Structure 1
Amino acid sequence: MKQALHRLEVATRGRGLTDITRAVRDWVAGQGIGTGLLTIWCRHTSASLLVQENASPDVRTDLEAFLRRLVPDGGEATYRHDEEGPDDMPAHIRAALTAVQISVPVEHGRPVLGTWQAIYLYEHRTSPHRRELVLHLIGEPG
């Protein structure tokens, strides 16, 4: 059994989905693990991770529109916690409704994703941020 750990820094452009599939796939390919399990952990409380369709940008647009309706930005009248602005508490709620950790099987040295799937970092703040993800891969050499 072999393990590998990596910290991946991702620059976001503000609220929305950033495709991290290529960076994750490239790192996994270089680890010499043929069959295993990849865990990706987001070290933030106002960003999250998703596996989602990568073919139509409308999916990402509709997802963001849905979350905007479900968790609107607000100020003092909407949320008590707003020390960092009107998008602060909504970002925490969005992260709570999505996932900060995902697991992806690895086969033949590649994450096993469906034809139309990609791995995304979901930035929930409106301003650009630098986010850190921790990738942990465990498995058999191959």
Structure 2
Amino acid sequence: MIIQLTVATPRQGLHSITDQVRSAIARHCPESGLCSLFVRHTSASLLVQENYDITAQRDLEAWLNRLVPENDPLYTHTLEGADDMPAHIKSMLTAVNLSVPIIAGELALGTWQGIYLWEHRHGAHQREIVIHIGE
């Protein structure tokens, strides 16, 4: 089963998509299987991360922005703005796909885990995520 999900990202940062993924698989979900997600962009990524304390998310964002700064003089790909090349590097360092088992009809996430779309650009975007549910 393939499901297309569109997620609006209003700004750079981590955006929880756990509820949207749960809702999408609830309509098509087997009792057990694997939920695979793929973001169809080169300047955003996916991850499973802490969902309890928002400061963990803010620390991750700050750390990655420090690791991959904007306006580095080594960048030659600058046509789409100062945040574009760093967004490509951040996407490369993180992941554009992930998989979560389905057990008893539910995502097998841990108590403090959530699924996040990590927007690496500053502006608002519509990001497409392909969800594959297999047994």
TM-score by length of 1: 0.92
- The equivalent of 1:103 in structure 2 is 99
- The equivalent of 1:137 in structure 2 is 133
In the alignment, does 2:21 pair up with 1:24?
yes
In the alignment, does 2:116 pair up with 1:120?
yes
Aligned length: 135
Largest Rg, 1 or 2: 1
Q: Separation in 2 of the partners of 1:32 and 1:127?
A: 34
Q: Separation in 1 of the partners of 2:59 and 2:39?
A: 23
Matched letter for residue 41 of structure 2: H
Q: Which whole-Å deviations, capped at 9, do the CAs of 1:29-86 have from their partners, x for residues lacking one? A: 11141100010000000000010000001001100110111000116x2411111000
Show structure 1 runs of 4+ deviating over 4 A.
none
Secondary structure in 1 matching 2:88: helix
Matched letter for residue 4 of structure 2: R
- The equivalent of 2:56 in structure 1 is 59
- The equivalent of 2:69 in structure 1 is 72
CA RMSD of aligned residues (A): 0.9
8 A contact 2:29–2:133 mirrored in 1: no
Q: Separation in 1 of the partners of 2:15 and 2:29?
A: 26
- The equivalent of 1:48 in structure 2 is 45
Shift of 1:27: 1.3
Q: Which whole-Å deviations, capped at 9, do the CAs of 1:6-43 have from their partners, x for residues lacking one? A: 11000001110110000101111111411000100000
Q: Separation in 2 of the partners of 1:74 and 1:110?
A: 43
5+ residue gaps in structure 2?
Answer: none
